[in-house]
Amino acid sequence: MHRYELDAEEDPVDGVSMVIAALENRRPGELDRMADRISPDALNGLFAASEAEAIQLRFPYHDYEVVVTGNEVQVFEPRNRCEQ
């Protein structure tokens, strides 16, 4: 599992892109569009609320399982990569 602490002013979408890009050895702009999996505006809006710390959202992106909380992004490697 890879963990990324979000800055107070950082959008969750940016945090997810940074972690996945680092794992894929690519730049965030080179990744497939996140909007094909989840709406970036909805993701950012969900965690903009003051109660965001109590929210946890899971979704697949680039074969990884992504978990976003109010202040953190966790990325789990695909099972087949972990078994190699």
| Calpha distance 6→13 (Å, rounded) | 10
pLDDT of 9: 87
Q: What is the pTM of this model?
A: 0.85
And the tokens for 31?
């990744």
Q: Calculate the alpha carbon distances from 8 to 5, 11, 50, 59, 66 in Å.
A: 9, 8, 12, 22, 19
Please give the chain's pLDDT, 84 residues, in tens: 999 999 988 999 999 999 999 999 999 999 998 998 899 999 999 888 767 678 899 999 999 999 999 889 999 988 665 544
| Calpha distance 78→17 (Å, rounded) | 17
